[in-house]
Structure 1
Amino acid sequence: MGVVVAPRLSTVVRRLPLGLVVLAGREALDRPVRWVAVSELEDPTPFLEGGELVLTTGMRLDARNAGPYVGRLVARGVAGLGFGVGLGHETIPEALVEAATRAGLPLVEVPRDTPFVAIGKAVSELIAAEHYDELSRAFAAQGRLTRAALRPEGPRAVIDRLARELGGWAILLDEAGAVRHLAGRGAAEAAGDLGPELERLRRITSGGAPASVALSSPEEHVIVRPLGARRVRGFLAVGIGRSFTPVAHTVVNAAASLLTLAVEHGGEHLAAERRVRSAVLRLLLAGQVEAGCETLERLGERLDGEPLVAVACAGDPEVVLEAAGGEFAAADGDRVVLLVAASRAGAVAAALGEHGPVGVGAPAGLGDLRAGLDQADRALASARRGTARVVRFADLAGQGLLSLLDPGAAEAFSRALLAPLREYGSRADLLGSLRAYLDCNGHWDAAAQRLGVHRHTLRYRMRRVAELVGRDLEDPAVRAELWVALAVAR
């Protein structure tokens, strides 16, 4: 709730029925009175919190202890001292008046006909009235902020209204800390100093707990709050030249709630647009180019000419989609797919490489996007396995046939095809003989010489290989399959 709303001591003194008279400390009558405490103790401070109007009849006060008594009250931070006359003292002791004057402590004479309880009631009524006025001001400000939020400019209008309500400045920032809108004197200068506080807020809120940062200096008081229900989607920063009152805190909280609704509602629209883009991607890959482009145009977008390059990125979908900027991007399966003009593909892929492995296909027309995405996926698979963050299909193709194969499928194929040769019980090394035969392109003499055996021995072994694998080694396709199986095994 914040500090208790309190009336000024001057307001309490002016209450006509009480008949209070100020004898010292008139210059400090603007102090807030947070409660009334009645005590006849020589040292009541252990029972005080500060901000009270202390009432006493001075039963234990005299010229000897008046100075220390006033000193203890001042050190405790009381609002003032009310002295009831007509009981223990017909008048307030002069030593007490002098001590209060020296210390600047408001000293008020309470007539005998004014009960202390009447002063307590008056202060309680004033606190209630101040609290009601505070609530009224807060509700009125909330109403004005809500009406601003309903205007076409929405969040911008809320920021403008908030700066006027506080008499200071207000800034709306996006998730990355970029200024979306600002209002109020000094806002532009303050925006450049918020970076460290935004980073601090990101660390504080990383566990999901809501938090805010408050900064104070003699010249300015600042509050920075994150915006968003499930995750941080932006920030609100406000600054004024005085301490934030409970009303000001209430106004800031109301503005933050309205802005959170706005950014979350905008997030729902963004999610819907992303679902449409995923549908457009499926249409394009299915060859329904006209339908896909027409759907995209309904979003106010279009594919930027031909040829296009398919880019597949395996980073966090939320992060990658944000990083895509104005490029066509859609989440699909376990990666995000972008369709980028060929002239920008290199720069886009390099930027996305900071967020995860990236595969880049070859340039393709709208009708060939399926093949382009297949290439990007093959390149992405290589990027996931290797150390390079960005892999282009053109570079991958230059690394040989094996780099284009799925590693798991190729290994399973190799094990199954070569299993009979590994299990062959003879001392003859059929795998080594087959490898030499294929490396020598089927030349018997060259292969036999490499193995150090007679060519008839090699012919015998190849007949055993053909029988065990059930393949005709004279068939070029069979020899290619066996070469791939041996290369994978190696």
Structure 2
Amino acid sequence: MAPTLRTVVRRLPLRLGVLAGHDGLDRPVSWVAVSELEDPTPFLEGGELVLTTGMRLDAGNAAPYVARLVGKGVTGLGLGVGLGHETVPAELVAAAARAGLPLVEVPRDTPFVAISKLVSDLIAAEQYDEISRAFAAQGRLTRAALRPEGPRAVIDRLARELGGWAVLLDESGAVRHATGRGASRVAALRPELERLRKAPGGGAPASLSLSTPGEYVIVQPLGARRVRGFFAVGLERPFTPVAHTVVNAAGSLLTLAVEHGREHLAAERRVRSAVLGLLLAGQARAGVEALERLGDGLPDGPLTVLCAAGDAEAVLEAAGSEFAAPLDGRTVVVVAGDRAEETAAALAEHGPVGIGAPVALDDLRAGLDQADRALAAARRASAGVMRFADLAGQGLLALIDPEASAAFATALLAPLREYGSRADLLESLRAYLACNGHWDAAAQQLGVHRHTLRYRMRRVAELLGRDLDDPAARAELWVALAVAG
């Protein structure tokens, strides 16, 4: 922040005297401008202390001169006496008093350059102090980031550094951690979060600032390549340059934590996928040893395998501390038998789930096959959770993929359907198989002579190229007829 005019005039070596506008001495001085022009305002920005010897000032133009300076927003006017004027003109003092413009008398032996150097030194000192405070705050934020709670500690430290509230959000806008009034402000920020989320350009969007009569808010997205979360900080006063620096430092630390955490999580998932491969390949001891070296492990006793569809990131997060790994388009979760239902309910929030029957560690492959079949059934039925045990209770056909079985039945029975458009071959075969190959019983069910049935079965065997005395052939034909309906 720039030094105030009061700070400048109090410096004893300058021996400046205030003649008017005492109430404006706390205005900041952005710079010192020396000008003898009758109208210097085209060369000013506002906030300057204007110094002049008053060579072009007289009783007639003092008031317009002051009015122009006030209109430009200068901080004050200093008149050097002993050259153009032995004393400050009374008209100038009166005009400055009416306008509320601080008017300073500069003695003849006080060089204007001394005032300029003083203001320059004060501004430099203030800037150095701001930089020092910003560096100190960055150091405290960095130490907070190294604490076990990481991002949460950064949010707490940020709020304390700025004297306001702060909140950390995930990429969906849900609150992960908040201080002060942060949690209560999230609802009002959601439209802005959507704007940041949909920002054009493909990369991580820039931050945005909001202000209301009693609050100033900065919202920043987190993530190097895409949005992986947000944080927001709010104050009851405008953000200073130091505050902006502190906010940006916090954003960098939080982004680093988010990206580093994701890389660590991705590496952990790759290891778990490799361990799952060992377990499914029958190398249980090697898989368990690998997990133990990571400080992880599998539950004791019978295990249940769950297969979950849906977004892998969401499913893995829902799995919590259970052993989970992505595998070929689905997520595999291995839990203790008594944890299966509770875990499946959490996973089902993100898509269908299949539950296998309890198995030993060495039979994990069988458990995965069961869970896969249950998942396929859950997808077909648009169900949240499907259990393999329930499928087994529905008979063998419940375990067979409908599309694959329908294609199999159509191809196998096609010669019978195409033979002279005679449906009696299909019905005769169905009755023959239903009566377990007993001619008299099947013929009686069809209402034909048993010799007629024998002829038809020989024709069926010829058309299909199958031996009807072979139990395997009979089983295939029975399944095909059951699927065909």
TM-score bracket, normalised by the shorter chain, equals 0.7 to 0.9
Match of 1:428 among 406, 422, 428: 422
Alignment of 1:475 onto 2:466: no
Distance change in 2, residues 1:113/1:465 (3 Å):
farther
On the 8 A contact 1:361/1:392 being kept in 2, the answer is: yes
Name the stretch that deviates more: 460-469 or 103-112: 103-112
What whole-Å deviation, never above 9, does each CA across 1:35-86 have from its counterpart, x for those lacking one?
A: 45658566947x765434456649588668937x756655654433445667
State which of 364, 373, 386 in structure 1 corresponds to 2:368. Answer: 373
Aligned to 1:192, which of 183, 197, 208?
A: 183
Alignment of 1:363 onto 2:351: no
| 1:436–1:447 Cα contact (<8 Å) kept | no
**Structure 1 position 298 matched with structure 2 position 293:** yes
Matching residue of 1:314: 309
Confirm whether residue 135 of structure 1 aligns to residue 126 of structure 2: no
In the alignment, is residue 343 of structure 1 matched against residue 334 of structure 2?
Answer: no
Counterpart mapping for 1:387-402 below 5 A: 387-402=382-397
Residue 245 of structure 1 and its aligned partner are, at CA, apart by 1.4
| SS at structure 1 position matched to 2:184 | coil
Matched, 1:30 2:23: no
Q: Is the 8 A contact 2:169 2:176 kept in 1?
A: yes
1:194, 1:439 → 2: CA distance?
A: 72
Q: Is the 8 A contact 2:308 2:354 kept in 1?
A: yes
1:44/1:484 Cα in 2 relative to 1: closer, same or farther (>3 Å)?
A: same
Contact 2:323 2:335 in 1 (8 A): yes
Deviation track 1:301-341 (CA, whole Å, cap 9, x = no partner) reads 33333332211111111111111112221222211111122
Residue 472 and residue 16 in structure 1: after superposition, are their counterparts in 2 closer, same or farther (change >3 A)? same
Structural mapping, 1:67-466, within 5 Å: 74=70, 77-82=73-78, 94=90, 96-109=92-105, 123-124=119-120, 126-147=122-143, 149-150=145-146, 158=154, 162=158, 165-167=161-163, 177-179=174-176, 187=179, 189-196=180-187, 199-200=190-191, 202-207=193-198, 208-212=203-207, 214=209, 216=211, 221-232=216-227, 235-240=230-235, 242-424=237-419, 426-429=420-423, 432-433=426-427, 436-437=430-431, 440-441=434-435, 458-466=453-461
Counterparts of 1:48-59 in structure 2, within 5 Å, are 49-54=45-50, 57=54, 59=56
The Cα of 1:152 is off from its aligned counterpart by: 6.5
**3-state DSSP class of the match of 1:310?**
strand
- Is the CA contact 1:29–1:106 (under 8 Å) kept in the aligned structure 2? yes
Question: Matched residues in 2 for 1:435 and 1:14: separation?
Answer: 115
Offset, 1:393? 1.4
**Does the Cα contact within 8 Å between 1:28 and 1:105 map onto a contact in 2?**
yes
TM-score, length basis structure 2: 0.80
Partners of 1:295 and 1:408 in 2: CA distance: 40
Residue 352 to residue 154, structure 1, CA distance change in 2 (3 Å): closer
Q: In 2, are the aligned partners of 1:58 and 1:83 still within 8 Å (CA)? A: no
Contact 1:148 1:154 in 2 (8 A): yes
Describe the SS at the equivalent of 2:338. Answer: coil
Distance 2:314 2:382 in 1: 21
- How far the C-alpha of 1:379 sits from its partner, in A, is 1.0
Between 1:49-58 and 1:329-338, the stretch displaced more is 49-58
Secondary structure in 1 matching 2:333: strand
3-state DSSP class of the match of 1:373? helix
Match of 1:6 in 2: 2
User: Partners of 1:204 and 1:374 in 2: how far apart?
Assistant: 44
Aligned amino acid, residue 76 of structure 2: G
Secondary structure at 1:311's aligned position in 2? strand
SS at match of 2:277: helix
Percent identity between the two aligned chains: 69
Q: Judge conservation of contact 2:354–2:373 (CA < 8 Å) in 1.
A: yes
3-state secondary structure, aligned to 2:331 = strand
Q: Does the CA contact (< 8 Å) of 1:213 and 1:223 recur in 2? A: yes
Contact kept in structure 2, 1:330 and 1:337, CA below 8 Å: yes
State the 1:466 CA deviation.
Answer: 1.1
CA positional deviation for 1:359: 0.8
Distance 1:480 1:42, change over 3 A: same
Deviation at 1:226, TM superposition (A): 4.0
Q: Report the CA distance shift for 1:49/1:470 in structure 2 as closer, same or farther (over 3 A).
A: farther
Q: Distance in 2 between the 1:98 and 1:356 partners? A: 80
Contact 1:437–1:443 (CA under 8 A) maintained in structure 2:
no
Structure 1: gaps (5+ residues): none
Task: Name the SS for the 1:192 alignment partner.
Answer: helix
Q: Deviation digits for residues 93-115 of structure 1, max 9, x if unmatched?
A: 65554454344332334567878
Conserved? CA contact 2:62–2:95, under 8 Å: no
Give the aligned residue type for 1:136: S
SS in 2 for 1:312: strand
Q: Give, in whole Å, the separation in 1 of the partners of 2:451 and 2:44.
A: 112
Structure 1 pair 439–16 and aligned structure 2 pair: CA distance change class (3 A) = farther
Q: How far off is 1:470 after superposition? A: 0.8
C-alpha spacing 1:117/1:340, structure 2 compared with 1 (3 Å): same
Are residues 91 and 370 of structure 1, via their aligned partners in 2, closer, same or farther at CA, if it must alter by over 3 Å? same
1:415 Cα deviation from its structure 2 partner: 3.9
Does the CA-based 8 Å contact 2:354-2:376 persist in structure 1? yes
Q: Which AA in structure 1 matches 2:296?
A: E
Change (3 A) 1:454 1:240: same
Residues 476 and 241 of structure 1, relative CA distance in 2, 3 Å threshold: same
Distance 1:197 1:253, change over 3 A: farther
Across the aligned residues of Structure 1 and Structure 2, the Cα RMSD in angstroms comes to 4.1
Alignment check: 8 A CA contact 2:416 2:426 kept: no
Q: Distance in 2 between matches of 1:488 and 1:375?
A: 21
SS at match of 2:181: helix
CA distance in 1 between counterparts of 2:441 and 2:36 reads 116
* Segment drifting more, 166-175 vs 445-454: 445-454
Instruction: Measure, in 2, the Cα distance between the counterparts of 1:340 and 1:471.
Output: 46
Distance in 1, Cα, partners of 2:76 & 2:428? 106
Q: Compute the displacement of 1:157 (Å).
A: 5.9
Query: 62, 66, 75: which one pairs with 2:63?
Result: 66
